[in-house]
Structure 1
Amino acid sequence: MSSVTIDPARMRQVMGHFATGVTVITAVHDGEPVGMACQSFTSLSLEPAYISFAPALSSTTWPRIRAAHKFAVNILAADQQDVCRAMGRSGGDKFADVAWEKGANGAPLLGGSITWIEADVEHVLPGGDHEIVIGKVSALELPRDAEPLLFYKGAYAGLAG
């Protein structure tokens, strides 16, 4: 087995060429809404219905979402860059200017999102400087038909018509 060292900055640069959708993972912890922007999200299995995302070990929000055990994935629309920025910052009231409603599992469902997926934390696995979260889907909804918010090469992007 070869021992190759990959420069983290180069890894970020190369992986930035893979366009991703932008999500916000939300939950309620100690009676307060919590949320974090997340690009590392995917559908994992149809039967059973599982989804996955990978929060950084350095995240201060992820431990509160994990403790809540129930969460929602909000897939953002192209016109929700402000929501992404709010949920991507540290500290403060991230929900101050963000419309939301409580989902069936109690997690915040963000207004204007394309899709809401509610889930329970099923497994948490190690993944280097991240954890790999597998969630069992409990509910899903398509509240809005809109273009997605994408991230590509370190910036917001849209679909080419």
Structure 2
Amino acid sequence: MDPREMRQALGQFPTGVCVVTCRGDGEDCGMTMSSFNSLSLDPPLVLFSVDKRALSLPHWEQAKGFAINILSDNQQAISNRFARAGSNKWEGTHFHRGFAEAPVLAGVAAVFECRPWATHDGGDHILFIVEVIEMRSTPDRRPLVFSKGRYAKLEQTQDVAPWPLAIHY
């Protein structure tokens, strides 16, 4: 299977954009990711993945906590900054320390502070399953979206009925 064709097909599925951060081995790490996903409500688990070739992988594996920063639609520059390897990502970046000293970025739409739960091999990536221990959201901020290789913004559409709190199959 051609990886470019797979990436193009996956681009048909819009995703949110987040910067996952941690403090591992005494160093702050942060990476733009679209591989974030919910996993379980009880216990509250989410997941993200890190490329096995990432030079920062040992820091991620040693981290005691993570902050999953869901970017607002006005934070494209932050997404771009943390998408690059080797750049000085933290210069001029406003944040405070969260659980286990993980950097929590300012101005995000939501943040999930997490502790490690499990890791698994995922082909060319390592899957990090993490337990949410605290979360905050700012409902008046719209999330940054990525689709077809570019950023997008959500538009208001007609009102729809809210999802039920419990879904039974």
TM-score after normalising by structure 2: 0.87
2:95 to 94, 100, 119: 100
Is 60-69 or 121-130 further displaced after alignment?
60-69
Return the alpha-carbon distance in structure 1 between the equivalents of residues 70 and 82 of structure 2: 13
- 1:157/1:34 CA distance change after superposition, 3 Å: same
Please name the residue that 2:43 is paired with. 48
Cα drift, residue 141 of structure 1: 1.3
2:145 to 146, 150, 160: 150
CA contact (8 A) 1:116 1:143 kept: no
Please name the residue that 1:78 is paired with. 73
Return the alpha-carbon distance in structure 2 between the equivalents of residues 59 and 145 of structure 1: 34
Please name the residue that 1:130 is paired with. 125
2:58 is equivalent to residue 63 of structure 1: yes
Return the alpha-carbon distance in structure 1 between the equivalents of residues 56 and 25 of structure 2: 13
Please name the residue that 2:26 is paired with. 31
Return the alpha-carbon distance in structure 1 between the equivalents of residues 16 and 95 of structure 2: 20
Counterpart secondary structure, 1:82: helix
- CA RMSD of superposed structures (Å): 1.4
Cα drift, residue 151 of structure 1: 0.5
Counterpart secondary structure, 1:77: coil
TM-score after normalising by structure 1: 0.91
Cα drift, residue 143 of structure 1: 4.4
Cα drift, residue 30 of structure 1: 3.5
Return the alpha-carbon distance in structure 2 between the equivalents of residues 34 and 130 of structure 1: 17
2:114 is equivalent to residue 119 of structure 1: yes
Counterpart secondary structure, 1:55: strand
2:148 is equivalent to residue 159 of structure 1: no
Which portions of structure 1, spanning 4 or more consecutive aligned residues, are displaced by more than 4 angstroms? none
CA contact (8 A) 2:20 2:32 kept: yes
2:14 is equivalent to residue 19 of structure 1: yes
Counterpart secondary structure, 2:101: coil
